[in-house]
Amino acid sequence: MNLKHYLQNNILITDGAMGTYYAQVTQSNNTLSEKANIHQPDIIYNIHKEYIEAGAKLIRTNTFSANTKVLEQDIKGVKEIIKKAYALAQQAVSDAKEDVVIASSIGPIPDKDFLEEEDLFEEYKAIVDTFLKVGADTFIFETFSDINYLQDIVPYIKSKNKNATVITEFALNIYGYTKKGKSANRLLDDLRKIEDIDLYGFNCGIGAGHLYQIMQKVRWSDNEILTAMPNSGYPDVLQDRTVYMDNTDYFVDTMIDLAKLGVKVIGGCCGTTPMHIQKLNEALKDFSMETIRRPRKVEAAVSTKAKKINALEKKFTTNEPVIAVELDPPFGQKIDKMMEAANLLKANDVDIITIADSPMGKPRADALIVASKVSREVGIPVMPHICCRDKNVIGLKAQILGGYIEGIRDLLLVTGDPIPSGDRNEIKSVFNLNSITLMEMLREMNIEHFEDEPIFYGGALNPNRANIDKEIERMQKKIDAGAKFFLTQPIYDEATIEKIKYIKSKVDTKILGGVLPLVNIRNARFIQNEIIGITVPDEVIHQFDEKMTREESEKIGIEIGKKVALKMKNIVDGFYFMVPFNRVNMINEIIKALKKG
């Protein structure tokens, strides 16, 4: 079947759920059905057969979760599952003697388990190559949340088979956003830029009713083919089993309404069964293509309001040197010393105070709440850090929204220090996102929520990384995700300053050089030997002595900080001072020296 030709005059019905229907058939709570391709092939074959008999003109291979991470198998085992899955779908279509398209189903691979993006892309390629070798010519990428990897893997498919058909589908929440914070309309805008994608739409995540409400607001043109494969509804748990209510008639009525909006490919995801597809097929017999409403035209929304630029952005724009100082929130409830430090820094004309987010994986007062208090009571701009370690996407978005309500307009987005090894049995990291994907999410929030006064955000930079070009590559990804500036790790040597100079020659961005005054020889040795990513030369260590008083050690630390700052003054766009042990006097002394030149 030629899909595009068929869709000119027809609505195409796909199959429904595989995983949840497999669990229903086997009377289990196991929706991970991919291994059944090998161990229970008759069940998978019969499910395909039931959907074809119900009227499906497109069936998806039982491979949505066929990857090394979800199945916990090596790539050889995954390939065998894929080959068997495709063979079962082929057999079901052949035996039915019907003109049915087989779509090779590929779900998102959990990317947090891959150290490098290249490794993840290589696995997508291995999956695609396996399908191509068994004759697949239609691919469906299901339940994605953004176009990352798709913009690379889809052209790869077309380079192998220029006649292949590629369908991409994305999961939305009831408000019309993916878990990465991208709206349906924004997502379609991005998809239109990938010419090799033939059909696109939405699946899973929400029921038909919510998807219909979202699609009423979506803009698309006559020549675009959209798909809709929602869940049958929302699940409940009865006797330890996940179940969906029997609402077949409601589902079918709503899917017909979606077809009237102009959606050309309709089917089902979680909770749907051959009965849903059969009744949908019957309902379409009385459907007239003339009842389809004309899709909304694709028109980019244009704001007529001027965007408000905050003080930090303005300073960067006018190339004025920026002075940012980091304060650590307290471990307990007492915040007097920190507030006193903030007032002293304001008196010294510091531009912005940054607030760390439980650095070193040790719990401190919430950075955003503390930043709000400092901003409100001291009257100085603040930049709380937000890390990905402790919150999922819901928590991160809620935190950002709450901060915005409190007037927070500057953020430093970081992946976050790992939890100390001794605590990992009791405390678990989240890492739903990394710094780059968090930036991508905030970029979308700026468009959808904060367009008139967007949040200005940046990221961290480690100039001491062994492969500096890799660090530059990562910086560029952050810039592409909306980062406008970078704060470096503390710098103590000329070699690192030269690396920053090299970075500046390669990347057009703003960099604040990191300065953390050393307070004594013990502190210097600790940073040299126990903090990864910071280089403290021996000649710096040798300037301290065990017998020095606190005042003598602080004086040495201030002098080292002054020298480093002055050496990189004409290279960086400002400074990122970190206050050691609340000794704000050391920072103020270095700032005064910088002002004198």
Give the annotated binding-site residues for Zn(2+).
204, 269-270
Instruction: Report residue 435 as tokens.
Output: 């710094």
Q: Pick the closest to residue 123 from 145, 164, 156, 90 (CA basis).
A: 156
d(CA 44, CA 58): 15
The CA-CA-CA angle for residues 128, 58, 19, to 5°, reads 70
* CA dihedral of residues 85, 87, 93, 97 (deg, nearest 10): -170
φ/ψ of residue 324, rounded to 5:
-115, 140
d(CA 436, CA 443): 10
Q: Which helix (H) or strand (E) holds 185?
A: helix 184-191
**Buried (b) or exposed (e) across 298-314, using 16+ Cβ within 10 A?**
eeeeeeeeeeeeeebbe
φ/ψ of residue 99, rounded to 5:
-85, 90
Q: Which helix (H) or strand (E) holds 589?
A: helix 584-596
Burial status of residue 400 (CB atoms within 10 A of its CB: 0-12, 13-18, 19 or more): buried
d(CA 154, CA 395): 32
Q: Where are the alpha helices (DSSP H) in 336-434?
A: 336-347, 367-378, 393-405
d(CA 388, CA 316): 26
Q: Which residues are annotated as a binding site?
A: 204, 269-270
Instruction: Report residue 266 as tokens.
Output: 């309709």
Q: Tokens 């700026």, residue?
A: 446
Instruction: Report residue 390 as tokens.
Output: 């402790």
d(CA 30, CA 36): 11
The single-letter code of the amino acid at 284 is L
Q: What is the DSSP letter of 517?
A: -
